[in-house]
Amino acid sequence: MPDTPSAPAVPPTPPVPLSALLAREDLALRQIAGPGDADTAIRWAHTSEMADPYPYLLGGELLLTAGVHIPEAAGSDGGAPCPSEVESLGDYFDGYVSRIVAAGGAALGFGLAPVHDTVPRALVAACDHYGLPLLEVPPQTTFSGVARAVWQLMAQARLAELRRVTEAQQSLAAAASRPDPVPSVLRQLAQRVGGRAVLYGPDGAELAGAGRAPEEAARALGELAGVVRPAGPAGPTPASATDTVAETHLAAYALGTGQGFVLGVAAPRRDPGDHTIASVAAVLLTLLTGEHRSGAGAARSSALVRLLLGAPPEAVAPLLGGDRWVVVHARPTRDGPAPDAVAASALGAALGSTLVDLGDGFVRVLVPADREPAPQPGWTLGLSAPATPRDWAAADAQASRALARARATRTALVRHGERTGLADLVPPAEAELHARTLLAPLAQGTALTETLRTWLSLHGSWDRTAVALSVHRNTVRQRIARCAALLGVDLDDADVRMELWFALKQGAAD
């Protein structure tokens, strides 16, 4: 039966081969009993003088002992114990070694001196009987030195495995950017695990494959893929499953498209980093199959092509899923690195839209108006008023100003035009003419207009305006002084400020 483990996201520390420990000349260890052909895996070293170490072992240990617990009749094998003593010692070591094996101990290291000059012959016989490797530890080698060597070898193996995983991730990413991305990813994955990689469709058919595996294992891999493929209302299915057939390790991963695609991997071994490498391939294949096979992805591609060929935005908007939209501008709340593509995509997903643009230090998202954007942890948002595609450019400017105000006031989310005001009482044509006339001296200075608008919205605060515009406070002072000079007004006058704010709200100088 296949199992469905929850494998770690990063490869665990690989075990140390016993042969690597025996090869350390500084330790001078010597195997004197147990199987010599099997390359035993050591996961850690543990020292114990307990007559029954079973309760203290986790499995995979190199157990180190100086024989303090051995009955006195064992001596140092220099004398000749009587037959009854020999039988008693045989029973003792038989029980001792069998308990180590039952606990999953990987090997036993016996230290010479100061208790014993040689390894008891009955212990050697017991280790041979139970197949437990027995190492002779010379007097000059300390147990702490052996343990340190184990950890050093584990660290080296861990570094080598991480390097292998990193190189595999890079090669898989490069394969995904090739003209034939799916076959290229499968070829790279098969090469990295030394086996076969297959992409199965929703109906279980093999869509693409690379590499080789025994025929029996290949058939079993297709059956294992069915374990993680959604089967309707029968219940939830696991995200991955593993099995072993014909001495071949099998693994199946359900792709995140929700459409039934499955990645199958067959390899002659299962190294610690193989799960991580296969998981990276599964993510890449999820993106490739989801983007090119989903209706939404096809519609977005169609809309983009039509825009590039000259179609107006309002003509392609129905392909994107709506007639009215909200433009969202967002920046991370805390100072730090600028958002990357992964963070931008995650924000878009949280807002319910895949129409995401990563700008210079901020993220722009186009959200259908029927999906009300909510505050997002770690982000500061500025929202436009709902707009038709014809007014997307104006909505983009609204979102930018709303984000500037949100950052200046340290508010998680600010919407443009949430309340009506006195401007609604003035006929739009008259208001626009008045605003255009009043702000005419600033018509050629976009930075001056935006600085004046932000400064007035923040009640004349130099510091908060500087933060909102990402400029120095002295730059704000210079720009405001320039505005006052060009307009010929006193900006300390509340009436002047009110009239200018009214004019700026009309957007005549945008």
Over the stretch 130-170, which tens digit does the pLDDT of each residue have? 999 999 999 999 999 999 999 999 888 888 888 888 899 89
On whether the CB atoms of residues 4 and 242 are closer than 8 A, the answer is: yes
pLDDT in tens, 182-216: 888 999 999 999 999 999 887 788 888 999 999 99
In this structure, which amino acid lies at residue 356?
A: V
Query: What is the Cα–Cα distance from 175 to 161, expressed in whole angstroms?
Result: 21
Q: What residue ranges in 223-261 does DSSP mark as E strands?
A: 240-245, 248-254
Can you tell me the distance from the alpha carbon of 483 to that of 479, in angstroms, rounded to the nearest whole number?
6
Burial of residue 40 (CB within 10 Å: 0-12, 13-18, 19+) is buried
Does 28-140 carry CATH code 3.40.1390? Answer: yes
Tell me which CATH code domain 422-505 carries.
1.10.10.2840
Long-range pairs of 202-209 with CB within 8 A, sequence gap ≥ 24: 202/229, 202/259, 202/260, 202/261, 203/260, 204/229, 207/182, 207/261, 208/182, 208/183
Least confident of 178-182, 379-383, 398-402: 178-182
From 403, 395, 327, select the one nearest 365 (Cα to Cα): 327
Alpha helices in 428-493 (DSSP H): 428-438, 446-457, 462-469, 473-487
Tokens for 101?
């094996």
Which residues are CB-contacts of 338 (< 8 A; sequence separation ≥ 6)? 332, 360, 361
Q: Where are the domains of the chain?
A: 28-140, 175-293, 296-320, 324-415, 422-505
List Cα–Cα distances, 247 to 2, 243, 250, in angstroms.
14, 10, 10
CATH code of 175-293, in short, is: 3.30.450.30
Token reading at 114? 């100061």
What pLDDT digit, counting tens, does each position of 333-368 carry?
A: 877 667 776 677 767 777 878 788 888 888 999 988
Q: Helices 83-102 and 121-130 sit at what angle, rounded to 10 degrees?
A: 40
Judge whether residue 84 has pLDDT over 70. no
